[in-house]
Structure 1
Amino acid sequence: MKHLIWLVIGMAAFSACSPRAYSPQRTFEASALRSDFELMRKGLETSHPGLYWYTPKPRLDSAFDATAARLDHPLTELEFRKLLDPLVELIHCGHTTVRGSRGFEHWRKRHKPQDFPLTVFEHKGKIFVASNFSDEPGIRKGQEVVRIDGHDALSVYESLKGIVISDGYNQTFKTTTILNNFPTYYRYWYGEKERYEVVVVDSLHEEQTFRLRWKKEQKAAKAVTPAAVTPVPGQVRPPATVPVVRSLGNRNIHLAFSPADSSIAILDINTFGDGSYRKWYRRVFREIERKKVTHLVIDLRNNGGGKVAASNLLMRYLMDQPFQAYQSVESLPYPSPMTRYISERIGRDIMIAMIARKLPEGRRAIRSATRIQKPVKKYGFRGDVYLLTNGGSFSASSITAANLQFWKRAVVVGRETGGGRNGCSAWSIPYLTLPQTRVRVRLPLFKTLTAVTDPNVGHGVIPDHQVVFTAQDIMGNQDPDLQRIYELVRGSRVVKD
């Protein structure tokens, strides 16, 4: 009987701690919120190597103090996170974001959200419909959106851009993320509704009001959460202007050839996170050599990054001389007093001890990252290389573009990358879990500097040939980026000065 009683008590305790016991309406006392906030601040100040890279310490300290002063009453987890988002955005580090607790994420999986049913884009200060997932067929692509739930549409768009965190002062990551994930961001910031009120302008230039919800057969299956750093899922990506014939690859890495010009191959790499990259790189570049390709287009648009090793190997297939991809990869003193609050602590401690050399004052440096790398000889490509980039080119893909451009091995076409040209804070990125609310903060541990020696002006890789999408391009699913490359190939105007 005694054992049965203890079993019941144990099951009750487990149930109370389980994700099913989570309630989004639960509020936390101001003292608990302040405790978590101070721990987050201390964690960032002692462990984030790029905390003051773009925002001076006095300004950031002032913002921390102002936010702390607002923690004077109970808040739900979501309200607490929304208070932290604008503060963390001031760090201007795309790898540093606020995430919900695991309890919240488990709860959200069981309670599917009612997202806003339109994607939108901004053009010349106005907001237009990009896609309609609602139950109202009267909303058409290209219609101007005037108001959403009584709010000015442009003001809504700008407010959501304000909580998207990019590297430095970059704006293309923000616009790409909002284009790809407006439904999720709107629901997160403005609140979930059964139906959303939207006012659009019709063909007679008159305003029409609709109350919209997602069509039941439609779902925002691949939309990322506001805390994610990469806009790869749910991407709005136009098809090629000139048809291509797919040759080989998988859903993340695939090679295609243009029937209009047999000398051009297009290698589309959606992520550097594919575990089979070595196999596919070898197959792809062997096929490129077999087809005697002289112009290789590498599409890194909406590639949110991934494995450093995958990025480095791609560069080795393309480089024509030994090169250095990174100047330095260093951390603040590690371990720190905050280490016990980070995720996967034991494994991370072992990993850092193995790959990172200890420097004076306890800092760590990954020496292997700065070694000179040699080009791949067998199947290495030495022809003309063009890179397609946009605001969704982030982290490892931005670093790839930065190095290939810096070492004059590629012509970059498109829009500024979402990741920093000179580097970022990343490499090892655990979660700092706040003990009271269980809210998680992504905390990059290493400051990574690319080989680029130019002054850091807080932006991504600026293309050699910048291409601006018009409203007609977006609505007509055109791809002026690729069209520009065909023009460059035909004109033989490869920038290598």
Structure 2
Amino acid sequence: MKSKAILQLAFFVTQFLCVPVVSGQNAFNPSELEEDFQLFKTALEEAHPGIYRYETKAAMDESFESIVKELDKPLSQQEFYKILNPVLAKIGCGHTKLMPSEDKGFMYYYNMETLFPLKLFLDKNKAYVRYSYDTKVKLEPGTEITAINGIAMGEIIEGLLNNLFSDGHNQTFKYYELNRYFNALFSNFYLEEGEPHNKFNITYKNRGRKGSITLPSVSYQKVMEHDSAEQNNIPYELEFKNAHTALLTIRTFWPDEEKYNFEVFLKESFADINAKNIENLILDLRGNEGGKDAFGSLLLSYLVNAEFRYYDKLVVATNERFSFGDYAQLPEGYEQLRALITQTEDGEFRWEHNGNLAIQTPQKDPFKGHVYVLIDGACFSVTSEFCAVANHLDRVSFVGEETGGGYYGNNSGAFAIVTLPNSKLKLGIPLMAYYTAVKDYEFTDRGVMPDHPIRNTIEEVLSPGDEVLDWTLGRINKK
């Protein structure tokens, strides 16, 4: 069972994070920082099954050495976090996390009462206003923000991208997180704890005119009131667009199973689709960050008419006890599970106990028509795995943006949560490397590329329509 991004964060927070929200930080001396760093490095090298999946050992060693040079003076927790985090991001694993403290919301760690007051849309090296969290602030949607507190937006965006995690060298997942959590990220990396920053000086451009303005900060609660209202909490829906086309929207592979039964939903939906002799199926997976890996293969079984493989292998770093075990929260029953790890002749450690490693059987009456899958950078983990195998089987057409998860798999599954003893930073290390049963893909360090690329823009974000869905319906109608 796997959970991704936000869902994985919720697991970390509720299960393992026990210290209060960071405030009034103390400084840690160089020896304390060095102790924490050595544990940080040791835990990654011993436990992370994909630490060298996208970067060489020499490159990671060089990055670790760069950290050591920064630990010659006292640092606060936030300062230490800002040194460790970009090096951790270089691994190229979207499931690896560094979390400073128990937090009220994912990514919101520092300066939670003095957040940047605008919701932005970030596109390449530019930022545009979507709306303000403070109703007193009147900036027209679509206004370009060129600098915050004297720092150019291009510089801010580049700095934040270097601190965001994704699989391989994918960028669309980073931009998804950047757009969703800019207020938190800016506070974490560009505002220092304890310094006065209840106002933000910005410069902007709008309709050919340049200007500047000072904006008051807003609280985390105010941000959440707005952002939560944007979310659709219905996990999946079926809609018939016309007599020939159905739209199946799956927003998560991790539903509330007491309220929603995914297996029943799929069974009833495809029975209805086939009974109506639907010729075209639009599968909307945008915004779906993943969930249970079994749900990905189950969905695919409704779209193919022959047996298929889903996972090629699952790899772990070792079958030995971890030397850092005294500082880690490990999966329940980990000591017993270690005995089930097998080793191949070439020395690779495998986990063979996952149903998706077996040959997958299609449903008795699968959908045989055209399938269009709508994707974006939020399609991560299980969602990206499904897309990769569906693409490999040449069963569907993709419309939208590159998926956020890696085409050849990811590192996830069970996690070790390591608490650094002095700073109390918590390092979340995925313990299993998943390899999808795919091959011969051009982009070995990226996600699934769309057959019909449609890049999101500020104009699309502000418009009431849905360009990706409308384009797909238009293509179907032309056929």
What TM-score do you get using the length of structure 2 for normalisation? Answer: 0.86
Instruction: Give the distance between the partners of 2:236 and 2:186, measured in 1 at CA.
Output: 32
- The verdict on how the C-alpha distance between 1:395 and 1:19 changes in structure 2, with shifts beyond 3 A counting, is closer
Gaps of at least 5 residues in structure 1 are: 1-16, 224-232, 238-249, 493-497
- The verdict on how the C-alpha distance between 1:172 and 1:19 changes in structure 2, with shifts beyond 3 A counting, is closer
1:9 corresponds to: none
1:234 CA drift (Å): 8.5
2:205 corresponds to: 201
Q: Tell me, what secondary structure is at the counterpart of 2:414?
A: coil
Q: 1:324 aligned to 305, 309, 312, which one?
A: 309
- 271-280 vs 59-68, which moves further: 271-280
1:111 CA drift (Å): 8.8
1:65 corresponds to: 65
Map 1:307-318 to 2 at 5 A. Answer: 307-318=292-303
1:97 CA drift (Å): 1.8
1:426 CA drift (Å): 1.4
Q: 1:468 aligned to 425, 434, 455, which one?
A: 455
Contact 2:372 2:472 in 1 (8 A): yes
1:130 corresponds to: 130
Instruction: Give the distance between the partners of 1:30 and 1:77, measured in 2 at CA.
Output: 12
Instruction: Give the distance between the partners of 1:50 and 1:200, measured in 2 at CA.
Output: 42
Q: Tell me, what secondary structure is at the counterpart of 1:92?
A: coil
Contact 1:272 1:307 in 2 (8 A): yes
2:260 aligned with 1:262? no
Contact 2:133 2:226 in 1 (8 A): no
1:251 corresponds to: 234
Aligned amino acid, residue 236 of structure 2: I
Instruction: Give the distance between the partners of 1:417 and 1:25, measured in 2 at CA.
Output: 38
Instruction: Give the distance between the partners of 1:160 and 1:416, measured in 2 at CA.
Output: 20
Higher relative contact order, structure no. (Cα contacts within 8 Å, ≥ 6 residues apart): 2
1:80 CA drift (Å): 1.3
Instruction: Give the distance between the partners of 1:462 and 1:301, measured in 2 at CA.
Output: 14
- The verdict on how the C-alpha distance between 1:366 and 1:491 changes in structure 2, with shifts beyond 3 A counting, is farther
- 384-393 vs 433-442, which moves further: 433-442
2:180 corresponds to: 180
1:405 corresponds to: 391
Q: Tell me, what secondary structure is at the counterpart of 1:197?
A: strand
Instruction: Give the distance between the partners of 1:468 and 1:481, measured in 2 at CA.
Output: 9
2:270 corresponds to: 285
Aligned amino acid, residue 69 of structure 1: K
Instruction: Give the distance between the partners of 1:253 and 1:236, measured in 2 at CA.
Output: 13
1:265 CA drift (Å): 1.4
2:473 corresponds to: 486
Contact 1:391 1:416 in 2 (8 A): yes
Aligned amino acid, residue 198 of structure 2: E
1:141 CA drift (Å): 0.7
Q: Deviations over 1:282-302 (max 9, x none)?
A: 232233233332211111111
1:37 CA drift (Å): 0.8
Contact 2:113 2:219 in 1 (8 A): no
Contact 2:199 2:214 in 1 (8 A): no
2:28 corresponds to: 28
Map 1:324-403 to 2 at 5 A. Answer: 324-334=309-319, 335-351=321-337, 353=339, 356-357=341-342, 359=344, 363-368=349-354, 369-377=356-364, 380-403=366-389
1:353 CA drift (Å): 4.8
Aligned amino acid, residue 257 of structure 1: F
Aligned amino acid, residue 297 of structure 1: I
1:330 CA drift (Å): 1.1
Aligned amino acid, residue 256 of structure 1: E
Contact 1:329 1:446 in 2 (8 A): yes
1:167 CA drift (Å): 0.7
1:161 CA drift (Å): 1.7
Contact 1:167 1:419 in 2 (8 A): yes
1:135 CA drift (Å): 3.7
- The verdict on how the C-alpha distance between 1:112 and 1:126 changes in structure 2, with shifts beyond 3 A counting, is closer
Contact 2:113 2:218 in 1 (8 A): no
1:308 CA drift (Å): 0.6
- The verdict on how the C-alpha distance between 1:448 and 1:295 changes in structure 2, with shifts beyond 3 A counting, is same
Instruction: Give the distance between the partners of 1:289 and 1:38, measured in 2 at CA.
Output: 58
Instruction: Give the distance between the partners of 2:44 and 2:382, measured in 1 at CA.
Output: 23
1:302 corresponds to: 287
Instruction: Give the distance between the partners of 1:488 and 1:105, measured in 2 at CA.
Output: 40
2:218 aligned with 1:214? yes
Instruction: Give the distance between the partners of 2:438 and 2:139, measured in 1 at CA.
Output: 47
Instruction: Give the distance between the partners of 2:89 and 2:21, measured in 1 at CA.
Output: 31
Instruction: Give the distance between the partners of 2:40 and 2:221, measured in 1 at CA.
Output: 41
1:241 corresponds to: none
Q: Deviations over 1:420-458 (max 9, x none)?
A: 011111122232222222211111111111111125521
Aligned amino acid, residue 84 of structure 1: L
Instruction: Give the distance between the partners of 1:134 and 1:474, measured in 2 at CA.
Output: 20
Instruction: Give the distance between the partners of 2:88 and 2:465, measured in 1 at CA.
Output: 36
Instruction: Give the distance between the partners of 2:379 and 2:212, measured in 1 at CA.
Output: 37
Instruction: Tell me how many residue pairs correspond in the alignment.
Output: 450
Aligned amino acid, residue 297 of structure 2: N
1:167 corresponds to: 167
Q: Tell me, what secondary structure is at the counterpart of 2:450?
A: coil
1:190 CA drift (Å): 1.4
Q: Tell me, what secondary structure is at the counterpart of 2:312?
A: strand
2:436 aligned with 1:450? yes
Instruction: Give the distance between the partners of 2:349 and 2:119, measured in 1 at CA.
Output: 45
Aligned amino acid, residue 453 of structure 1: K
1:76 corresponds to: 76
- The verdict on how the C-alpha distance between 1:61 and 1:221 changes in structure 2, with shifts beyond 3 A counting, is farther
Pick the structure with greater CA Rg: 1
Q: Deviations over 1:353-387 (max 9, x none)?
A: 56x54556582322533210001225x32222111
Aligned amino acid, residue 146 of structure 2: V
1:434 corresponds to: 420
Instruction: Give the distance between the partners of 2:285 and 2:415, measured in 1 at CA.
Output: 22
The percent of aligned pairs where both chains have the same amino acid is: 28
Q: Deviations over 1:21-47 (max 9, x none)?
A: 975412222212111111111111111
Q: Deviations over 1:183-230 (max 9, x none)?
A: 11112211273222222224461313132333898432587xxxxxxx
1:4 corresponds to: none
Map 1:409-424 to 2 at 5 A. Answer: 409-424=395-410
Contact 2:399 2:468 in 1 (8 A): yes
